[in-house]
Chain A
Amino acid sequence: MTTDTSLGTNPVTGSDRAAGSTQAGRGATSAPRPAGRRPAKRKIADWRKRAEIAVLAGPAVIVFVTFVILPVAMAAYYGFFKWQGYGPPTDFVGLQNYVIIFQDQAFRSVLMHNGFIVVLSLVLQGPIAIVLALLLNQKMHGRGLIRVLVFVPYVISEVIVGTGWSLLLQSNGAVNDLLQSIGLGGLRADWLSNPDIAIWTLLVIISWKYIGFAVILFLAGLQSIPEELFEAAAIDGAGYWQIQRRITLPLLGPTIRIWAFLSIIGSLQLFDLVYIIWGQYIASTAGTSTMATYMVGNGRNSGNYGFGSAVAVVMFVISLAVALIYQRFVLRRDTAGALTERKN
């Protein structure tokens, strides 16, 4: 508890302040005021408080409801219709859109692609980013420059990354030319258009793009580990790798877990890179389609706004479920007290 008197906590009007100060003792504000004392003034005060909340929170609430809650509700509503987007929806089909989604082989394969990207992003990016972060945490020349360079791909817009890589990786593009000219012509491949290779190409591009973000997070995490622990461990005779394993990694845990959460959600919602590189139509042929490209392809581009809305709902539910499960089982210890009641 604070040692304050009630003075500063309810700075409404002069007379109220006086009223508050007459009640002696700590925590007086939380005590109910004597009933019937100056009811008119109190009513005004209450009204003002509500008005203040309404004025300050109102715009944010309106924007949130209009652009987040309402669209979700509308998507759920449209998802029950066959609807081409012309005029109001009239052809109510119940859950049929959802049945079609789960029977669609193409949807099953986008789930596989998404799962593959979720897992492989963690497996590929995690270790590399930790090693890079440990490396960049050492004192050495040019550290600042390397840190910036590692972070650059993350800052470049997805559209530019997608366009750039798709030009480089074309069948007659720079990458194949380079391989040819350094005598590795046998490694030339249709990086983007060969269905056996395309998803690995996508993974490499994703890793290249997002690894900088992981490195920066881990570096920040490393900074917050107290130096004394390393010194103590060194005095006790621990080697470099032992220190990393016993001290750095466990203390970096919260950072790694929150990064993994962001990476999983990002992988589930992956859209822009695929859409830029493979365009509107051929992502499923190349084996790189995701839930989001499926939604746009079968919803908006096919003019099936009802069906597309149903896909959006499925995607929303899957992402929400993954997020909640992750919060419940993995992030719980990190967020205890912040998002939940602290337990002693």
Chain B
Amino acid sequence: MTRKNRLAAAIAIAAGTALLATGCSSGSSADSGDGKVTMTFWHNSTTGPGKAYWASTVKAFEKENPNVTIKIQAIQNEDLDGKLQTALNSGDGPDVFLQRGGGKLQAMINAGQLLDIKDSISADAKKSISAGTFSGYDAKSGTYAMPVAVLPEGIWYSKDLFQKAGIEGTPTTMDELNADIAELKTAGVDPVAVGAKDAWPAAHWYYNFALRECSEKTLTGAASSLKFDNACWTKAGQQLEDFNATKPFNQGFLTTAAQQGAGSSAGLLANHKAAMELMGAWDPGVISSLTPDAKPLPDLGWFPFPTISGGKGDPKSMMGGVDGYSCTAKAPKKACTDFLNFIVQKDNQEGYYKAFQAIPVNQDAQSVVAEPYLKSALAAYKEAPFVSQYLDTLYGQNVGNALNTSVVDVLAGKGTAKGIVSATNQAAAKG
């Protein structure tokens, strides 16, 4: 009896140890001594052409570098950040991964989790990518990610609905935009769709008002000080209140999502239920997946965010994000930076554009962009003296989240311009 128990216990312990051992042995990068290197790669394209693009790009890279094997893991976008954080903290993270930038990037740099790629960026990449595009990934200690796409923001609109309402051309000032909104209402069209349920799409209106009201120095300076006491922040909130008072948004916008289904803001635009949406340059891809025939919206157009009277911001400045990829500190430096240099080569960037409908960072590859709306977005982007990162990314998750929700409060009539500033200042204390 006793002996049997002991035997059972021994087996149980052995099995447990084995489980633990195998559980912990899934470490990713392995240099097996003969120069062969294995890396893991996390991105967020779980379906369609994006997923296929990464698979074929990795295959092409492995062919050029027979000593390197890359294991791809595509992770659902909303799950990516949480998994990444856990994995990085447990030392079990990927070698290459999609970098969101901004405050999250800063937190990873502070924790020593990223590889400085500054000296490894190829001459080709330096030549074909503008220095400004890199700036979001620069820190005092180095450069921590390779940009692959630029996503400038503006207003996406349906040309057919504008025509139906008798609007010619596109608005360039807020007054013109307000006039167009009035005309669209008269024509019985919801003027502007906004996915306030996700908070950030609503907050983008505030970002753009802040971009017009505040100077470049104020916007970027707040990223490190996290203090929002400049008067321009309140003025931007006032602009938002005034705009909201004209009731430009779709009915029930507070519970409208940004991207899921026909009832989302992108879906409303895709189905001609609303005329406009303020969004980054990923929007064409989202919209085309939500049209009735799942094809790109034929009458989609783009114009930059209108100018306001007064304000310290340059009227040609833009909001815009950059998508990029980072190597983790434990990644094999040579292989990993080689891969980053590889993905920004001209043909791979052209492939990226085709797969994602997004503007590539490589200036030689930008010539293949054909859609008129992407072309005008790209032209405006090139002309912009200052492209600000989206403020929630720029100011980090904590302040960014508070900023976003306080903007929603204003749109719902529960908050004020001052409330945005105080909520943002208060959030800074929590992190």
Q: Residues of A at under 8 Å CB distance from B?
A: 48, 55, 82, 84-87, 97, 100, 104, 166, 170-172, 190, 192-193, 195, 277-282, 284-286, 297-298, 300-304, 307
Contacts and interface: CB of A to CB of B under 8 A. Distances in A.
Given A195-B414, A281-B197, A86 B430 contact: no
A328 B256 CA distance: 46
B89 A281 contact: no
Given A170-B252, A171-B251, A84 B431 contact: yes
Contact of A193 (B254, B257, B431): B254
Contacts of B107: 84-86, 303
Given A100-B430, A170-B252, A303-B104, A86 B257 contact: no
Given A85-B89, A195-B414, A303-B107, A100 B197 contact: no
Interface residues on B, range: 35 or more
Given A170-B263, A193-B255, A281 B199 contact: yes
B129 interface: no
Nearest to B401: A302
Contacts of B85: 85-86
Contacts of B26: none
Given A85-B85, A86-B111, A303-B107, A281 B252 contact: no
A282 B196 contact: yes
A147 to B, nearest CB: 34
B17 to A, nearest CB: 15
Main secondary structure of the interface of B (DSSP, over half): helix
B398 interface: yes
Interface string B323-361: 000000000000000000000000000000000000000
A282 B104 contact: no
B111 A282 contact: no
A285 B409 CA distance: 5
Contacts, number: 115
A216 B68 CA distance: 63
Contacts of B111: 86-87
B401 A301 contact: yes
B405 interface: yes
Contact of A282 (B2, B112, B199, B263): B199
Contacts of A285: 254, 405, 408-409, 412, 414
A304 B254 contact: no
Interface in B379-431: 396-398, 401-402, 404-405, 408-409, 412-414, 426-427, 429-431
B183 to A, nearest CB: 23
B405 A166 contact: no
B110 interface: yes
Given A86-B85, A281-B197, A303 B398 contact: yes
Q: Choose among B197, B255, B404, B413 the residue with the greatest number of A CB atoms under 10 Å from its CB.
A: B255
B404 A281 contact: yes
Nearest to A83: B431
A219 to B, nearest CB: 37
Nearest to A287: B414
Q: Choose among A82, A166, A281 the residue with the greatest number of B CB atoms under 10 Å from its CB.
A: A281
B108 interface: yes
A100 B429 CA distance: 8
A304 B430 contact: yes
A68 B409 CA distance: 37
B302 interface: no
A86 B402 CA distance: 20
B426 A302 contact: no
B177 interface: no
26 contacts: A55-B5, A82-B431, A85-B107, A86-B88, A86-B111, A87-B89, A97-B430, A100-B426, A100-B429, A104-B426, A171-B251, A171-B255, A190-B251, A190-B254, A192-B252, A193-B254, A279-B197, A279-B198, A282-B197, A285-B409, A286-B412, A298-B427, A298-B430, A302-B401, A303-B104, A303-B396
B157 interface: no
Contacts of A84: 107, 398, 431
Contacts of B402: 302
A87 B112 contact: yes
Contacts of B5: 55
B102 to A, nearest CB: 11
A193 B396 contact: no
A177 to B, nearest CB: 13
A227 B414 CA distance: 57
The 9 closest A-B pairs by CB, nearest first: A171-B252, A193-B254, A281-B199, A87-B111, A303-B397, A86-B111, A302-B398, A302-B401, A307-B430
A281 B426 contact: no
